[in-house]
């Protein structure tokens, strides 16, 4: 499991851009971390790597934001306001998790419970005294360069 250190938002975003080069349609990125850890910054980097230039912000109140990239769509989902997998089902989460034309990033993915795909790319972001520690776990080999 690759582990990266990031001391700035720019470094975290660069890591997300690098990761995007290994992504393909149907990929789900499960983002984990405390409030303010950098999940949205990572999602913004992935979006940039997919060719999305528009503003990418946390969809905390909208729950889902869709963007058209150069080759793939990017679906950014924030489950912070949902407390059960049933609530995620109610917003149609299964459509996003099974969309082969998109890369889907889910903040607070632990709230999916068993709905989270077994092959999801797991990213755990934790804060450190120097910035962030970012662990990436995937069943397949990803070509990710350190920032």
| Nearest-angstrom CA–CA distance, 44 and 37 | 14
Position 87 in a domain: yes
Position 13 in a domain: no
Mean pLDDT of 14-34: 96
Identify which of 47, 19, 38 has the alpha carbon closest to the alpha carbon of residue 124: 38
Q: What percent of the chain has pLDDT over 70?
A: 97
Identify which of 3, 62, 10, 60 has the alpha carbon closest to the alpha carbon of residue 35: 60
Degrees (nearest 5) of the Cα angle 59, 8, 137? 65
Q: Please check whether residue 93 is in contact with residue 1, taking contact to mean a CB–CB distance below 8 angstroms.
A: no
Query: Residue 61: is its pLDDT beyond 90?
Result: no
Q: What percent of the chain has pLDDT over 90?
A: 69
Position 20 in a domain: no
* CATH number of the domain bearing residue 59: 3.40.50.300
Q: Please check whether residue 73 is in contact with residue 47, taking contact to mean a CB–CB distance below 8 angstroms.
A: no
Which three-class secondary structure state does DSSP give residue 126? strand
> E strands along the chain, which residues?
3-6, 28-32, 64-68, 73-78, 102-107, 121-127, 132-137
- Model confidence band, residue 143 (pLDDT cutoffs 50, 70, 90): confident
Position 73 in a domain: yes
Q: How far does the chain reach from its first CA to its final CA, in angstroms?
A: 16
User: 45 is in which domain, residue-wise?
Assistant: 25-129
Q: How many domains does the chain have?
A: 1
Mean pLDDT of the chain: 92
Position 143 in a domain: no
Position 145 in a domain: no
Position 106 in a domain: yes
Query: Residue 110: is its pLDDT beyond 80?
Result: yes
């Amino acid at each position: 499991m690759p582990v990266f250190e990031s001391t700035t938002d720019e470094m975290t975003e660069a890591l997300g851009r690098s990761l995007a080069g290994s992504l393909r349609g149907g990929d789900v990125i499960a983002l984990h971390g405390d409030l303010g850890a950098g999940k949205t910054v990572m999602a913004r980097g992935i979006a940039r790597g997919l060719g999305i230039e528009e503003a990418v912000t946390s969809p905390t109140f909208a729950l889902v934001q869709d963007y058209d990239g150069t080759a793939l769509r990017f679906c950014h989902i924030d489950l912070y306001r949902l407390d059960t997998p049933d609530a995620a089902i109610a917003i149609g989460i299964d459509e996003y998790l099974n969309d082969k034309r998109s890369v889907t990033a889910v903040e607070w993915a632990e709230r999916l419970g068993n709905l989270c795909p077994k092959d999801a790319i797991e990213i755990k972001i934790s804060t450190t005294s120097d910035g962030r520690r970012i662990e990436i776990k995937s069943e397949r080999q990803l070509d990710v360069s350190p920032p």
